[in-house]
């Protein structure tokens, strides 16, 4: 039976309530202390686990404490520090380009709008929303592979396109909860609704999920 938008919005509110009770400590899994450190960590997290990134960044942030340090570093030095995160040459190039962009165009401060953030090398909408939501408290929907998979299983989208899913979720999820919704769904995807073998029998959302027992 097809749901109306209003029915989906009501179901999303119930989903949110259950997820909040289940994961009261859900937050960004990347370790950081400044907006720039979060930008770097998020770039490194592409095709890499947050756990691995958190193993790499302490030494990286100690060796390169300021944005200027990244902009002026030898590419090989930066690459050596992030090698274990994979695709390290491309990531080093993007991080260095982003550092120079922040210094040259934004006065050395990471910008606080999505429109400005996505002009930086290596920063797409997903990375921008991570930064906005977690460094600046500006709500943003972070659509990664977990968000794509779970929102499809939950019947909130049929799309596989991250940007389309982001815009489809915007009217369904209360704006104040956009960032939290992302954390909750991503965490649930990691611990319960995994790609190959979802734990539907033990899932806290099974009564609200049209895919329960069917995946």
What residues are annotated to the active site? Answer: 126, 144
d(CA 169, CA 9): 9
Token pair for 168:
């489809």
Helix axes 162-169, 125-135, angle to 10 degrees: 40
Burial pattern 132-162, b for ≥16 Cβ within 10 A else e, equals: bbbbeebbbbbbbebbbbbbebbebbebeeb
C-alpha 72/C-alpha 65 separation (Å) is 12
Packing angle of the helix pair 125-135, 35-44 (nearest 10 deg): 140
Distance in angstroms (rounded) separating the CA atoms of residues 123 and 119? 7
């Amino acid at each position: 039976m097809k749901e109306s938008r209003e029915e989906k919005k009501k179901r999303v509110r119930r989903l949110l309530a259950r997820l909040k009770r289940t994961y009261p400590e859900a937050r960004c899994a990347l370790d950081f202390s400044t907006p720039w450190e979060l930008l770097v960590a998020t770039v490194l997290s592409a095709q890499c686990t947050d756990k691995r990134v958190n193993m790499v960044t302490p030494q990286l942030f100690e060796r390169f404490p300021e944005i200027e340090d990244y902009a002026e570093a030898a590419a090989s030095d930066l690459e050596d520090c992030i090698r274990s995160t994979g695709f390290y040459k491309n990531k080093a190039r993007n991080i260095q380009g982003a550092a120079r962009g922040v210094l040259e165009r934004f006065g050395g401060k990471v910008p606080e709008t999505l429109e400005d953030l996505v002009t930086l090398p290596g920063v797409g909408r997903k990375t921008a929303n991570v930064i906005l939501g977690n460094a600046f408290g500006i709500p943003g929907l972070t659509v990664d592979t977990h968000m794509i998979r779970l929102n499809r299983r939950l019947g909130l989208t049929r799309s596989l396109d991250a940007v389309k899913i982001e815009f489809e979720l915007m009217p369904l999820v209360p704006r104040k909860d956009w960032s939290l919704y992302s954390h909750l769904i991503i965490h649930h995807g990691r611990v319960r609704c995994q790609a190959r073998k979802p734990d539907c029998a033990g899932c806290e959302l099974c009564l609200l999920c049209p895919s329960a027992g069917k995946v």
